[in-house]
Amino acid sequence: MKPEKRRQQILDCAKKLFSTNGYYSTQISDIIREADIARGTVYQYFSNKDDIFITLLEDYYQKWQAMMTDWAEKVPLATISPREYLRERIFINLQFFAQDADLCNILLRMGLGLPGHLDSVSRRFEERILAVTVNDLKLGLHNGHISPKLDLNLAAHLFTGALLQAAYAYFGRNADIQEPVDMERAADQIAGIFAGGIFV
């Protein structure tokens, strides 16, 4: 097997195990057994369990960043309404989290209680979504779409938390919702909940 495929095989097996069993209950020996490889093989690609876990989250974060950059380049800022912009941002994030229930589960369920160096990696999503939301709100305020009385920091934290909780509820490994999610409807509803409190 080619090195890149072998590396991806290890990551795929680890992802499944971390999502099912959690970080602490998953051992290198479990990943080796799941991947059906020799013990030394895993160390050709990764230093330890933390390295595998961090690689999974870093790769996931990079995919999210690339998707958000691509989306931002295509948004018709001159013609899109603030409410539609909010709805589209929600929709693109839901689409992303829907693509991989295991990674969604790892990121959104396991962020709390991890050792510091792992916790900081898992929190990058939340921090980045929060930063993007604050910037969007500041832009809306500057353009007169948002009330100057709105506490931008509070609104951004509420929005970010709600978006990530909704993604986990919809798409996590043990999602609360068992039937397929209508993401267009979900994005409409989440946007509708926030729009009334955000826009003038």
* Tens digit of each residue's pLDDT (9 = 90 or more) over 7-52: 999 999 999 999 999 999 999 999 999 999 999 999 999 999 999 9
Q: Say if CB 16 and CB 103 are below 8 A apart.
A: no
- pLDDT, position 134: 95
Give me the numbers of helices (H) and strands (E) for the chain, helices first please: 10, 0
E strand or H helix at 47: none
Residue of 93, 94, 95, 125 lying closest to 109 (CA atoms) = 125
Question: 11 or 126: which carries more pLDDT confidence?
Answer: 11
Two structure tokens written together for 199: 């826009």
Residues of the chain with CATH 1.10.357.10: 50-198
- State which CATH number among 1.10.10.60, 2.40.30.30, 1.20.120.80, 1.10.3300.10 fits the domain covering 1-46: 1.10.10.60
Residues of the chain with CATH 1.10.10.60: 1-46
> What is the reported pTM?
0.90
Question: 112 pLDDT exceeds 70?
Answer: no
Q: Say if CB 149 and CB 187 are below 8 A apart.
A: no
E strand or H helix at 114: none
Q: How confident is the model at residue 172 (pLDDT cuts 50, 70, 90)?
A: confident
Q: Which of these ranges, 88-97, 104-113, 171-180, has the smallest mean pLDDT?
A: 171-180
Q: Say if CB 98 and CB 183 are below 8 A apart.
A: yes
Which CATH architecture is the domain 50-198 placed in?
Orthogonal Bundle (1.10)
- pLDDT, position 175: 66
146 DSSP β-pair partners: 199
Question: 177 pLDDT exceeds 70?
Answer: no
Question: 110 pLDDT exceeds 80?
Answer: no
Geometric angle at alpha carbon 197, from 196 and 199, rounded to 5°: 70
* DSSP three-state, residue 200: coil
